[in-house]
A = this chain, B = another copy of it.
Amino acid sequence: MLTAHRHCPGSPTSIKATVVYPATEKHIQKYLRQEVHLIRETWEDYKDITLPFIQSQSFSIQWVYNILEKKAEADRIVHENPDPSNGFVLVPDLKWNQNQLDDLYLIALVHRRDIKSLRDLTAEHLPLLRNVLQEGKEAIGKRFGVPGSQLRIYLHYQPSYYHLHVHFTALGYDAPGSSVERAHLLADVIDNLAMDSTYYQKRALTFPLRADEPLFKKFQEAGKV
């Protein structure tokens, strides 16, 4: 049994694989049955549990930098705003084969390398986020003919990798990770930050974790599950 997780556009280094061989029915059932639970993470939980966990892991995001530096997938770029502070690169997600629009899926990777996730965002990032929303819609409309009103544009929390990125999926596509317990509409994020620059350093955030994920164990150890 090979279960590959590749959430993102990127070089083969972004593949995390769990190989179970030979895979008995029991193995498969155990994998499939892993329970998922919701975590309600306060800002204190983030600082005390999640942030130290992220920092302790050596998540490689070299594949992101390779795209941003045109060392990989340069021919796949749909749009770029090259501004180092407020710019980004828009590429088709590797899950989308581009043969049909039904499951359209693109990713915007920001040029800035200092924003891990939603938790780091403040009003300072509004120009960047507005560029992603506006230019991303325009570029997809131009290239693929899909209007902005038929795009679901959102961030994940927790993200699969800690370099800020935004998902663009076809509204009619029930994309994995587009449920309310993981997705945050970019338009909502922008309005929340415009209303209160420290919104994401105040608000508790919900996200799902499988019971066998290391971060789940950290929350469990802290008595938060």
Contacts and interface: CB of A to CB of B under 8 A. Distances in A.
A37 interface: yes
A218 interface: no
A103 to B, nearest CB: 15
A130 to B, nearest CB: 14
9 contacts: A38-B150, A152-B180, A152-B181, A154-B180, A171-B208, A178-B179, A179-B179, A179-B180, A188-B203
A215 interface: no
Given A37-B149, A174-B179, 16 more contacts: A36-B150, A37-B171, A38-B150, A40-B187, A154-B180, A171-B181, A171-B208, A178-B180, A179-B179, A179-B180, A179-B183, A180-B184, A192-B203, A195-B196, A195-B202, A195-B203
Interface of A is mostly: mixed
How extensive is the interface on chain A, given as a class? 20 to 34
